[in-house]
Amino acid sequence: MLSRSTRALPVVIVALALPASATAATVVGSDLSGTPSVSCVTGGANAFNECTLTQLESTGYAAPLTGVITGWRIKHGAELGATIPAAELRILSSGGAARTFAARRAAAQVSLLSERAGVDSFAFSDDFNRPRGMPIAQGERIGVYVNDAALPVAAAAAGEVGFVLGSHAGGALTYGPVAGSLLLQAVIEPDVDRDGYGDESQDGCLTGAGPAACPGAGDGGSGDSRGGGAATIEEFHAESIAVYRAATIKRLPRRANLYDAVMRGFSQPIRCSLTCRITTAATMRGISASLYAMMTRSARSVEVAKGTGRFPSAGTGKLRVKLRAKARKALRRVRHDVKVTLRTTVKDARRTVTRTQTITLKAARR
């Protein structure tokens, strides 16, 4: 399955901690800074043809590692005819002679492009709509099929773009040259367990098949070691995300019932575009470090809860963090409103987002 969007955000990759055998994710292809002006028609093709293109120079367009393609982007000109523009990623390998390549589909589905000039971005997903990669071997290069030979998908720049008429998806063909630089880009991630999920943004366990976290890895959440205060993932719904966006930490109500907070803690809604790790900590002023007695004039801030959780893939969910036992015991004796500061941090392979909120806990009046 494929998903798409237009005007995608720039691809920025930050390496996660991986096994020694793994390599960081890599962006291959064009930086997409050129202006689309070169098409297969520029090389002599008929405007009514379809065509497949690749960059004849392998430098920058070939995979530096064996892994999976987790997303790809193409920059193109405006569609001037009646055809709805469409494209499909191709993976090419050397056919043994100059400008000769064997090709295969990255995914057997054509992706519709915007009719306006710009950048279109695509991501792959599995049968359960979870993000998934497409295998590519070291040395193979990226190419693209377009259903309109007149659609500009390359810039007038140094280098040569190779093209053949039609949809090249098997066997070896010799490509004709046209001057230019193909405006095509892909992100390749390692896949050390060869399960088809990128190790940095899609795979929750590098020693087992599938995107789920390793057994015992703590997806259900964890607390610290200072008496109670645990966190649990109480809700999670996987989503297929076509365009990366920084994590969203929803604003909680500014007021809450003190009794509910003592008994149930706080439930923080989160949305992530990638596998992400969530850390939440709650602090209060006016409570002693021993957490046994209230100090109404104390300026000291004491941590009363902390926990972590993890989303195994892109999706939405809630992390519930509960107060430590000593904090609950102290707060049960409170007969006035108190304030708690909740600091939540969400980290994925690309960005870290933090939100700090102050919540007034309303005590029951007697």
Number of compact structural domains in the chain: 2
Domain presence at residue 234: yes
Number of alpha carbons in the 13 Å side-chain half-sphere of residue 105:
13
- Spatial CB neighbours of 134, under 8 Å, sequence gap ≥ 6: 68, 69, 89, 91, 106, 107, 124, 196
Domain presence at residue 228: yes
Question: Does residue 277 share a domain with residue 335?
Answer: yes
Question: Does residue 243 share a domain with residue 164?
Answer: no
Domain presence at residue 201: no
Domain presence at residue 78: yes
User: What number is the average pLDDT over the span 311-336?
Assistant: 84
The reported pTM is 0.56
Question: Does residue 273 share a domain with residue 229?
Answer: yes
Question: Does residue 130 share a domain with residue 228?
Answer: no
CA distances for 244 relative to 7, 11, 122, angstroms = 11, 8, 11
332 or 158, greater pLDDT: 158
Q: What gap in Å lies between CA 176 and CA 162, rounded to an integer?
A: 5
Question: Does residue 252 share a domain with residue 160?
Answer: no
20 or 191, greater pLDDT: 191
What is the model's pLDDT at position 7?
Answer: 36
Full domain range(s) for residue 263: 222-362
Last residue of a domain, one of 190, 209, 240: 190
According to DSSP, residue 76 is labeled E
186 or 43, greater pLDDT: 186
Question: Does residue 59 share a domain with residue 126?
Answer: yes
Indicate whether 57 pLDDT > 70: yes
β-strand pairing of 86-94 with 111-112: antiparallel
Number of alpha carbons in the 13 Å side-chain half-sphere of residue 159:
22
Phi-psi region for residue 33, left (φ > 0), alpha (ψ -120 to 50) or beta?
A: alpha
Question: Does residue 255 share a domain with residue 144?
Answer: no
Domain presence at residue 204: no
